Structure 1
Amino acid sequence: MRLSSIVLSVAGFVYALLGFLFLFAPVTMGRWILLSVPSAAAAIEIRAFYGGLEVGLGAFLLYCGNRPATVIVGLVAMTLCTGGILVGRLTGIFLDGSPEKMTLVSMIVELFTTVTGILLLMDE
């Protein structure tokens, strides 16, 4: 298995796992990222966006990582999605200031994943 396929499979697994956790435990996961869940509507939104979207992205990355013909598409999707999250996080830090420890840890993981995706795409 090529490195690109392994990276996509790991990223897909992590996204899917986090998605399922947000889907079935939005309050607990919300606390983990310092996000309050004050109502049923908020829980539904977290389940849908953090849960459903991450499960879908994870499944797509797993699919792409296990089919040689779709590895490049998967790398592009992973890199753009993670890069977009990173840009959003950096914008939040710039506009809102003083990030928490979890924000910084997430940012480091997103930066690593984005750079890894770019390097793997350059190698393909």
Structure 2
Amino acid sequence: MSRTIRAYLAVAAVAFALIGVNAMLHPAAAVAGIGLGADGVAGLNEIRASYGGLQLAIALVAATGLVWRPARLPALAVSTVLCTGMALGRLVSLAVDGLPPAPMLLWLSLELLATIIGAALLLRNRHLAPVQPHSTPNLGTGETTSPN
């Protein structure tokens, strides 16, 4: 697999880890610049979960693909789909809510770039995806049956 995929996953792992750690350690500061408040325990809890834990989980997926070859394409796919979802949410907000502050436009640009690069890498390397015949476990014997 290409070094480009590993570079993509490395950048994703580091970026999402930095965002996640920052939100875990400094939740109010992490969202202060984007117009969100961390009012009370519920607000802090939500920031730590969505901007902390979820971002760290995405970083873990990317890092797993970086170090474990069989997980490389699935990690690329997951990272790309998640960036696509974030970009889609921002585009919907842009259309419905209007022009956001400059930091949100920067995040949108980075998410779109990650989506485009990730999709291109997936298309370019689709021949590397494993194709396995469907098999069904037989719960009684523990054996698997194949349609062949």
User: What TM-score does the superposition give when structure 1 sets the normalisation length?
Assistant: 0.95
CA distance in 2, matches of 1:85, 1:109: 10
Equivalent residue, structure 2, for 1:120: 121
Structure with the larger RCO, 1 or 2 (CA within 8 Å, 6+ apart): 1
Q: How many residues align structurally?
A: 124
1:33 counterpart residue number: 34
The aligned residue for residue 105 of structure 1 is 106
* Partner residue, 1:80: 81
Q: Does structure 2 retain, via aligned residues, the 8 Å contact 1:30–1:36?
A: yes
C-alpha contact (below 8 Å) 1:9/1:66 kept by paired residues: no
1:33 CA drift (Å): 2.0
- Preserved CA contact (<8 Å) 1:26 1:46: yes
SS in 1 for 2:75: helix
RMSD: 1.1
User: In the TM superposition, what are the counterparts of 1:53-68 in structure 2 within 5 Å?
Assistant: 53-68=54-69
| SS of equivalent residue, structure 1 residue 99 | coil
**Contact 1:82 1:110 (C-alpha < 8 Å) held by counterparts:** yes
- One-letter amino acid of the structure 2 residue matched with residue 32 of structure 1: G
In structure 2, runs of 5+ residues without a counterpart are 126-148
Distance 2:34 2:60 in 1: 23
Q: What do the CA deviations read for 1:23-72 (whole angstroms, capped 9, x no partner)? A: 11010011122211122210111001110000011011111122222111
Q: How does 1:12-51 map to 2 (within 5 A)?
A: 12-51=13-52
Counting aligned pairs with the same residue, the percent is: 28
Instruction: Give the AA of the match of 2:111.
Output: E
Q: Secondary structure at the match of 1:34?
A: coil
Q: Distance in 2 between matches of 1:85 and 1:101?
A: 16
SS of the residue corresponding to residue 33 of structure 1 reads: coil
Contact between 1:79 and 1:114, CA under 8 Å: does it hold in 2? yes
Match of 1:95 in 2: 96
Report the CA distance between 1:81 and its aligned residue.
0.2
Normalised to the residue count of structure 2, the TM-score between the two structures is 0.80
What's the CA shift for 1:105?
A: 0.3
Gaps of 5+ in 1: none
